[in-house]
Structure 1
Amino acid sequence: METAVQPCGLFVYPEYGFDGLIASNGIVEVKCPFTAKDMEPSEAAKKYNQRSQVHEPPKLSRSHNYFYQVQGQLHITKRSFCHFVVCTSKGIHVQRIERDNDFWKLRMLPQLIRFYRDCMLPEIVDPRTTRSMPIRRPQWNVKAIESHQQSKRASMKNKEAKQSGDSDIFHSLES
């Protein structure tokens, strides 16, 4: 069977876009974290930020998933900046994030290409899920998922230990 396939990119349903474009050069990404719904917006934004110098305003951490999301959106839409908005019941906090071409080229694009080539393309060409078979998982992908899950478990243990340590200190102060 001969079939011509045209590259198409991603299809978007514009009637239901929840974030937005700013003029001809920017985008908006809005986050309304439920865990921070009653916090001051600037306090909620600290969950995602890092501060390189005391006198500089906090910036979205380059290791946070939201930074990757914003950089991907900036490059895909060919825009220069993003207004990253954290929204709570008490207001909003807006932070401008510039497109980082080096971050895209060195940290994101190679991984996206690898994921497409090793994970998505084989499923597009020869789908296994329609035959009730598990999807293909290259070893590097399995290891990355396991590593991520171990990190999350370690983080939870640290958080629990910190909380129980805090309560132990609190109880010892009461005595």
Structure 2
Amino acid sequence: EDHPWVSVKKALMKFVSKDLFFEDIKVTQEQIEDIALQTKEQRDSALWSEMRFGRLTASNFGLVISAIKRNKYPPSLFSTLLGKVTLDRVTSVQWGVNHEATAISEFESQQDVTVVKTGIWLHSSGVIGASPDGLVGNDAVVEIKCPFKHRNSLLSEVLADKNYCFQNNELKTDHPYYHQVQGQMSILNRNKCYFVVWTTKGVMTLEVERDFEWEENITNLIEFYKNNLLDKLLS
């Protein structure tokens, strides 16, 4: 089924002005929920890929937020954001994709919860979005990490790795994963994230609370899209 109202590709094809473009890609709550449902197969859904095209999604929020802080926007930033660099065949990405289902079922058993699949959730601006790995109840998102470099590590070793995302058993607040999960909670309006790390030796869960101070980043991300990214999409 066609969703002409939210495709950035289509909005770009009939581009007249920035103002009209931003009117075109706005989404209603009903559309947001419909798209999230229709894209729940994620990688296996053509609509998921189409909805992600030309939008900023939560896995890249950290990159953009640190670029904004430094006020430096190198070409490499845009090639990553515009998907010029394809990740799908990278061993580490493949490892994560291959083990996500296992990680989810081990997490479900450990925490005695049920994870519901979900797709991409757009922000009402239509400019940014987030695809969590699942939902729990009506107030939590789930983010699964199966780190390739730690594939055979004990969980204690993962936590002790200074170069990974943890510090004192918490997510480092300047780490891309922190921005990713805060972005998910903000866009889906949920207050908790189960941040799940899986290795062949076990699974562990960190509960991350929504940080309302983080929300100001949403405005900055949308501004970045309007002032920097759209021009690259048009060129």
Fold-level similarity (TM above 0.5): yes
1:45–1:86 contact (8 Å) kept in structure 2? no
Q: Counterpart of 2:187 in 1: which secondary structure?
A: helix
Give the gaps of 5 or more residues in structure 1.
Answer: 52-57, 129-175
Cα 1:95/1:37, change in 2 over 3 Å = same
Match in the other structure for 2:200: 89
Q: How many angstroms does 1:6 deviate by?
A: 5.2
Please say if 1:116 is aligned against 2:225. Answer: yes
Cα 1:109/1:37, change in 2 over 3 Å = same
Please say if 1:42 is aligned against 2:156. Answer: yes
The one-letter amino acid of 2:136's match is I
Aligned length: 118
Match in the other structure for 1:149: none
Report the Cα distance in structure 1 between the residues aligned to 2:171 and 2:224, rounded to whole angstroms.
Answer: 25
The one-letter amino acid of 1:31's match is K
2:159–2:167 contact (8 Å) kept in structure 1? no
Which segments of structure 1 move beyond 6 Å, counting only runs of 4 or more?
1-4
Match in the other structure for 2:24: 5
CA deviations 1:75-115 (Å, max 9, x no partner) are 0010000000010000111000000011222xx22430231
Cα 1:87/1:6, change in 2 over 3 Å = closer
Give the gaps of 5 or more residues in structure 2.
Answer: 1-13, 43-118, 120-131
Q: How many angstroms does 1:116 deviate by?
A: 1.1
Cα 1:103/1:5, change in 2 over 3 Å = closer
- RMSD value over aligned CA atoms? 2.6
Normalization by structure 1: what TM-score? Answer: 0.59
Please say if 1:69 is aligned against 2:69. Answer: no
Pair member with larger Rg: 1
Normalization by structure 2: what TM-score? Answer: 0.45
2:193–2:207 contact (8 Å) kept in structure 1? yes
